Amino acid sequence: MNAMREWAAAEAARRRTFAVISHPDAGKSTLTEALALHAHAITSAGAVHGKSGRRGVASDWMEMEKARGISVTSAVLQFAYRDCVLNLLDTPGHADFSEDTYRVLAAVDCAVMLIDAAKGLEEQTRKLFDVCRHRGIPVITFINKWDRPGREALELLDEIEREFRLKPTPVNWPVGTSGYLRGLVDVREPERMLRYTRTPGGAHEAAEEVVPAERAAFEEGADWQQAVEELQLLEADGAGFDQASFLAGGSTPVFFGAAVSNIGVRLLLDAIVDLAPPPGPRRLEGGGSRPVDAPFSGLVFKVQANMDPAHRDRIAFLRVCSGVFERGVTVSRAASGKPFATKYAHSVFGQDRSMVDTAYPGDVVGLVNAAALRVGDTLYDGPPALFPPMPTFAPEHFAVVRPVDISRSKQFRRGIAQLDEEGVVQVLVSDTRGDQAPVLAAVGPMQFDVVSARMAGEFSAPVRLEMLPYHLARATDAAGADTLNRSQLVKGEALTRIRDKAQLALFPDRWQANSFQRQFPDASLGTLLAAHE
């Protein structure tokens, strides 16, 4: 027993499980690929071409992602680097997919926050940062796209400090203004500059040349001088990296670079190993926590079907939280108390996977064809464990979905049920509407595009959507739902969410909701978690 505990603890200590987060387009998927390239997990970046001609990345594998050049779902890459195993989760930046991103944040120990050098802090980055703070997830900052004209380095640091109340502590520093990057200085080794030679299209690691200070001063002149002065200024300001305040959410180590040209990526990768925290005890619902060396426990944070068109199966992504996961053992599913056999388990790398026999705290395991598992499920062995529930957001867009071809209604129902279980959208039903015309509820309209594309592409059941004039959802109960559905005077409708059987009252706007509440003061009307909370 003790040997098992020591084994789990030792393996946990060399795991780093982190998410890459930011506003859309800051370069998360590009950085994800660059990190994998530097860890030699892939041999060349951009080998695959997307439909639009843009280079595709390993984490963006869905057809729609390749075609549009955006990530619509999170992706997992696991790879070894130095003596560690890294579990990297690339998240979609678009607000419409923020439910997916939030679920990923429930499964990681650290986040790498990207900032576009030209844009500074953007809306979605702020929201995601708030989530990290709320969850106590330490944040590493990567200021990306330094190869393009943008803002000043010190100004960006000020913005982080002012708006996030987070002390920025640079770990590397740029020589040359944004758009005119000459090299980087590792703050711990200020007597030398790192100069990079890019490879075409950033397909391979950029060659790194160490330039001693004297030569850098000679060759880079004013740019080197400015970097030296800025570094002195930072030192005087006490901006040195501090592990304790980083882990406590008081400071963030900052890196500069250009993911697309692989500049500054190795420094970041090393920092993830050196600075990011390994898995620690996880908080349990109802109090207490489960240490990493306790018997096995894990959290299902994502479910996705048809990742591999050749197999057409369904994967539940499990983050191991404690103990050793061994394929083949039977564990318990907290939600039902029923046993669950872990026969088919894979480690995942974007779209590719390979069988995995053991996994340790921090690892992400893909459980194949685990039809019983749902997002938010806890699995455990030994003493029961239950992790806190996943957030579900208040939807703001609603559409009735119907099959284009009614002879395909079986495929239609199967597809909608699958997308509901994955949490691609929320599916609402009512007796009056029937199950041939369920209502899809989304945080953002792009989720509907994903439904349309996947229903046609994966389930051979093209759909037609008809938007409903509602934009506000409130929580109610059976009596409240009944009152609303009977009322002739209020524009609104109550439906049942399949996922958790919750009754949702839908209104065009809050005035209609208020008017309903005034007319029926006894009807229960509560708020749902808003997407920006």
Ligand X SMILES: Nc1nc2c(ncn2[C@@H]2O[C@H](COP(=O)(O)OP(=O)(O)OP(=O)(O)O)[C@@H](O)[C@H]2O)c(=O)[nH]1
Would you tell me which residues interact with ligand X (CB under 6 A)? 22, 24-30, 69-71, 92-94, 144-145, 147-148, 258-260
Does 347 engage in binding with Mg ion (CB under 5 A)?
A: no
483 touches, from ligand X, Mg ion, none (C-beta below 5 to 8 Å by class) = none
Smallest distance, Å, CB 89 to Mg ion? 11
Number of Cβ within 10 Å of residue 129's Cβ equals 23
Which string of DSSP letters, residue by residue, matches 153-166? HHHHHHHHHHHH--
| CA–CA separation, 80 and 89 (whole Å) | 14
Which residue's CB is nearer to ligand X, number 35 or number 260? 260
Residue type, 452: S
Question: Least distance from C-beta 153 to ligand X, angstroms?
Answer: 15
Q: How far is the CB of 230 from ligand X (least distance, A)?
A: 21
Contact in structure between 235 and 169 (CB atoms under 8 Å): no
Q: Which CB sits closer to ligand X, 200 or 434?
A: 200
Q: At closest approach, how far in Å is the CB of 65 from ligand X? A: 8
Smallest distance, Mg ion to C-beta of residue 86, A: 18
CA distance 432 to 5: 55
Query: Shortest gap between Cβ of 423 and Mg ion (angstroms)?
Result: 18
Distance CA 268, CA 81 (A): 12
Rounded to whole angstroms, how far apart are CA atoms 509 and 160? Answer: 35
Report the nearest approach of Mg ion to the CB of residue 135 (Å). Answer: 21
Considering beta carbons, is residue 69 or 462 the nearer one to ligand X? 69
In the bound state with ligand X, the residue whose beta carbon lies nearer, of 16 and 28, is 28
Residue number with CB closer to ligand X (71 or 483): 71
Q: Which of 439, 531 has the CB closer to ligand X?
A: 531
27 binding partner (options ligand X, Mg ion, none; Cβ < 5 to 8 Å by kind): ligand X
Scanning 70-78, 209-217, 256-264, 313-321 for contacts with Mg ion by CB under 5 A, the matching segment is 70-78
- Using CB under 5 A, which residues numbered 258 to 317 contact Mg ion? none
Q: Nearer to ligand X by C-beta: 260 or 472?
A: 260
Per DSSP, helices labelled H in 109-263 are 123-135, 153-164, 213-220, 222-236, 243-247
Return the residue of 17, 22, 71, 426 that touches Mg ion, per CB under 5 A. Answer: 71
Site for Mg ion in 362-421 (CB under 5 A): none
Is the separation of the CB atoms in 300 and 218 below 8 Å?
A: no
Pairwise CA distance, residues 289 & 202, whole Å: 44
Nearest to 301 by CA among 223, 420, 391: 391
Would you tell me the crossing angle of helices 153-164 and 222-236 to the nearest 10 degrees?
A: 30
Window 7-46: contact mask with Mg ion (x via CB under 5 A): ---------------------xx-----------------
In the complex, the smallest distance separating the C-beta of residue 90 from Mg ion, rounded to whole angstroms, is: 6
Stretch that binds Mg ion, among 43-51, 69-77, 438-446, 460-468 (CB under 5 A): 69-77
In 3-state terms, the chain is what percent helix, strand and coil (to 5)?
30, 30, 40
CB of 116 to ligand X, least distance (A): 8
Q: Which of Mg ion, ligand X, none has residue 457 at its interface (CB below 5 to 8 Å by kind)? A: none
The site for Mg ion, by CB under 5 A, has a size of 3
Q: Which is nearer to Mg ion, 29 or 78 (CB)?
A: 29
b/e map of 469-484 (b: 16 or more CB within 10 Å)? ebebbbbbbeebbebb
The residues near 254 (Cβ < 8 Å, ≥ 6 apart) are: 141, 142, 143, 157, 160, 168, 169, 170, 171
Nearer to ligand X, 205 or 493 (CB): 205
Give Cα separations from 143 to 119, 264, 265, 353, 414 (angstroms).
Answer: 10, 10, 11, 31, 43
Q: Give the integer Cα–Cα distance in Å for 399 and 247.
A: 43
Using Cβ positions, the residue closest to ligand X within the complex turns out to be 93
Single-letter code of the amino acid located at 140: I
Contact between 301 and 107 (Cβ < 8 Å): yes
Closest CB to ligand X among 66 and 497?
Answer: 66
Instruction: Please report, as ranges, the residues that interact with Mg ion according to CB under 5 A.
Output: 28-29, 71
